[in-house]
Amino acid sequence: MAKKILVVEDVSFLQNAIKMVLEDAGYEVLTASDGLKGLNAATTKKPDLILLDIMMPKMDGMTMLKKLRQHPNGKRVPVIILTNLSSEEKLIEANKEGVTDYFIKSDWEIEELPELVENKLG
Amino acid sequence: MDSGLKETNNRFKHIPAMDSGEFQAFLNNSDDIIIATDPDGTIKFANLKARRMLGYLAYELEDKKIINIVKDDHGSYAEEVVAKARRGQIVKDIKLILVGKQGQKIMVEGSLTPLFEHRECTSLWAKFTTVTPDASTDKEIKKLRQKRFELEALKSLSDRLTNIFDLREAIKTINNYLSEVLEYSSAAYLIFSPEHDDGYVFINYLKDKVGKKYIEAVKKDISSHLTNERHKEIKQIMDKFTDIKPEIHGSRLDSGSRSVPRSQVIFPLKLGAATLGLIHISSSKPNRYLGGTNWLTDAMVVTFVLFVVRLQMVLRAQRSRTETLVRSLSDGIIMFNDQLNITLMNEQGQEFTGLDPNLASLRDFFALFPKANLESKTTKMLVSGKTVHVDNVHLRSRHYEIFFTPVKDNQGKVVNGAIVLHDITRLKEIDQMKTDFVYIASHQLRTPLTGIKWFIKLLEKEIIKNGQVTTREKECLEQITLSNNIVIKLVNDLLNVSRIETGHKFKIEKTSFDFSVLMKEILKDNVVGMEENNITVKVKCQPAKLRLRADRTKVRQVIHNLITNGVKYSLSGGTVLVNAKADKKQVIISVKDSGIGIPKNQQQDIFSKFFRADNASAKGLPGSGLGLYMAKAVVEAHGGKMSFKSILNKGTIFTFTLPR
């Protein structure tokens, strides 16, 4: 059975690109465009891995993550942060909340994503 | 016996008296010069006086013409007179100069009378008396000439002063005038004037070479003249008079001279009851001014007084115009004198500084900006005589640019200073807005650029998936990728620059890391152009295990940047050398290339934002001109220094230090 990946990202075309590349790699992709919807999907759909953007309206990524970790369904799921921030401040903060890894959107290539996802799923 | 008389006898024999010896005696005894000629002026008879005065014997005069015995330039006049007489006119008031045998000149005046017989002119009789210049008339003439000369000099002085608006120039003019009417060794001018900062002008003009002793004596004389002065301001000045040094004009002080004034006269400059000052004239020779003052010097003094009053009025008007102008300016102005006392502060100045000009000193002003070290800037300005500029100081939540300007007198000497406070808060705000805008804009641009970058890759994959990618398609995609990468880099650079400028998010986060590991990472990054141009990058590190404590990401960027430049601007087959060494205080890292180098005249701009040297742009390779600006900012934020050496077409070496 294909692994379920939840992509929480507010910028639609970035969301599309990620969906495209992950589906090509054989994953099932769920999407949410803000933190609230993302939290909902994460706790109800139980994805195998979550790709989480930080800067989002309604509820940002860090807040969603905190809430997720408090939820019984969200304690263990691997979370990869999607960020544009090249400074590591927020990443260090995120680490404390149990971030599995991070992916810098502006610096890294899209084709590196499936490999990263596979690594973290294992 | 005169042969001439015989003839006369024959001529005038109709007049019985003429025949007699008594008549002859009468003519010869006469004290006048009597000469008889025929109608055309040929001399027929000259009496004893005539012959004696002219020094001729009778026969020598015979047949000479009147014109032969008169001065050359009187010749035509004599002819005229003879012609008139011949026509029947008795010519009176003749003034002539006769010339004797030895060339002696005899001034004569007299008359020429014709004698007629039967309406025909038979002879002309000249009767002359000698003229001696009247001694007393001469004196009168001389006196009148002198008076006229003096009046003309006075008028010329007065005319000249009308066009002069400078006290020193006026004094010069008066000195010239005095030289023509008086004999003097020194002329000292003491003029009280509130318009002048010290309240007076004291100038001692030396016509002759005199020494200290002389001018001290002049001062003493002036001082005793003014001891009774009641006016408060003048009294204040006179109290310090012994300390006051005059401006010396004219001759220099002769240190060897021991002469003292032997005659002196003072011309007080008064307007009604008010004392404007005085002029002290003295001479090293005695008894020069015994006559005291006369109408002439009095007239000169009055002229000068009127000039000074006029000048004061003009200066006052000018000053109040200037003051009005200064007060109304939107910049803060503080003026100070050579005692460093504040002489003027306009409203804006007061508002900016919060100082009260009546109470505050310049020191108080300097104390408002402790870090700016304004005292040394003021000194620099006063010493060099040039404007000094301070870029940006901060006071009470506003930003200022400060200018220190000298105020010079006619001779170019710095007498005062002015400080101008120019409010640049608005400019700084706008500058900040610009930076913020760049920050926000570049931040926002990243997202869509990421989108483009990703979709190019996905498109590429799709095309390849369908098999048969044409060369054209491949090339298009490559070019899009290339362009996009350039834009991404530029946006990243702009973002970094705006971070540096605002200090916003530009913080150095130090961690400890290994240099060689960092270098390995950097080199893995596939520096643009390394392969294509066959450039090798070599790394040398001493000690081999070199650890640094710095902001890893930022330092990585700096080194990456320098290597990129080294590769970009190198000639094919070249080498880029990275060298790192450490001492107790710091780590020194250098990146050397054998590339195109930086032209000497562009070297000073190399670290400027957006600057690219001409030879770099000419190479056609992309570059934002921000790399070195950022690199320098990062290094300096660490407390280090960045420098370079470059030779055109030989290569460049960039070196930077990071304190440990």
State residue B282's pLDDT score.
92
Q: Which residues of B touch A14 (CB under 8 A)?
A: 447, 450-451, 454
Q: Which residues of A touch B450 (CB under 8 A)?
A: 14, 84, 105-106
- With a cut of 70, say whether residue B260 has pLDDT above it: yes
Q: Which residues of B touch A110 (CB under 8 A)?
A: 453-454, 457-458
- Residue B265's CB is within 10 A of a number of other CB atoms, namely 19
pLDDT band at B181 (very low <50, low <70, confident <90, very high): confident
Query: In this structure, what token pair is assigned to residue B349?
Result: 């100045």
Quick: pLDDT tens for B407-447.
Answer: 887 777 777 889 999 988 888 888 888 888 888 888 788 88
Dihedral sign for Cα B277, B283, B286, B292, please. Answer: negative
Report the SS3 class of residue B126.
Answer: strand
Work out the mean pLDDT of chain A and round it to a whole number: 87
Half-sphere exposure of B444 (CA within 13 A, CB side): 6
The whole-angstrom separation of Cα B76 and Cα A88 is: 124
DSSP labels, A87-104: SSHHHHHHHHTT--EEEE
What's the helix, strand, coil split of chain A in %, to 5?
A: 45, 20, 35
Half-sphere exposure of B16 (CA within 13 A, CB side): 0
State residue A91's pLDDT score.
62
Cβ neighbours of residue B183 under 8 Å, at least 6 residues apart? B283, B285, B288
State residue A102's pLDDT score.
83
Cβ neighbours of residue B210 under 8 Å, at least 6 residues apart? B185, B186, B251, B253, B254, B257, B259, B284
State residue B11's pLDDT score.
47
Interface of B with A in 551-610 (CB under 8 A): 553
Instruction: Give the lowest-confidence range in A53-57, B513-517, B613-617, B648-652.
Output: B613-617
The answer to whether B660 and B587 are in contact (CB under 8 A) is yes
The whole-angstrom separation of Cα B378 and Cα B387 is: 9
Q: Of the candidates B447, B453, B457, which has its C-beta nearest A11's C-beta?
A: B447
Residue B285, exposed/middle/buried by CB under 10 A (0-12, 13-18, 19+)?
middle
Quick: pLDDT tens for B203-213.
Answer: 999 998 888 89
pLDDT band at B104 (very low <50, low <70, confident <90, very high): confident
- With a cut of 80, say whether residue A87 has pLDDT above it: no
Quick: pLDDT tens for B372-387.
Answer: 888 888 888 888 888 8
pLDDT band at A90 (very low <50, low <70, confident <90, very high): low
Interface of A with B (CB under 8 A): 11, 13-14, 17, 20-21, 24, 84, 86-89, 105-106, 109-111
- With a cut of 50, say whether residue B12 has pLDDT above it: no
Q: Say what angle helices A61-70 and A35-45 make with each other, to 10 degrees.
A: 30
Instruction: Give the lowest-confidence range in B61-75, B289-303, B473-487, B636-650.
Output: B289-303
- With a cut of 50, say whether residue B35 has pLDDT above it: yes
- With a cut of 90, say whether residue B653 has pLDDT above it: yes
Q: Which residue of A51, A110, A113, A115 is the best one to mutate when testing the B interface, meaning the one whose CB has the most B CBs within 10 A? A: A110
B437-444 CB contacts, 8 Å cutoff, 24+ apart: B438/B494, B438/B495, B438/B497, B438/B498, B439/B495, B439/B498, B439/B499, B439/B502, B439/B504, B441/B494, B442/B491, B442/B492, B442/B494, B442/B495, B442/B498, B443/A84, B443/B495
- With a cut of 60, say whether residue B118 has pLDDT above it: yes
**Is B451 an 8 Å CB contact of chain A?**
yes
Of all residues in chain B, the percent with pLDDT exceeding 90 is 17
Residue B310, exposed/middle/buried by CB under 10 A (0-12, 13-18, 19+)?
middle
Q: Of the candidates B450, B455, B505, which has its C-beta nearest A105's C-beta?
A: B450
The whole-angstrom separation of Cα A34 and Cα B6 is: 162
Check residues B198 and B480 and name the one with the higher pLDDT. B480
The whole-angstrom separation of Cα B237 and Cα B578 is: 75
pLDDT band at B612 (very low <50, low <70, confident <90, very high): confident
Tell me how long chain A is.
122
The whole-angstrom separation of Cα A64 and Cα A71 is: 11
State residue B15's pLDDT score.
46
The answer to whether B121 and B113 are in contact (CB under 8 A) is no
pLDDT band at A42 (very low <50, low <70, confident <90, very high): very high
The whole-angstrom separation of Cα B563 and Cα B518 is: 13
Query: What single DSSP character describes residue B529?
Result: T
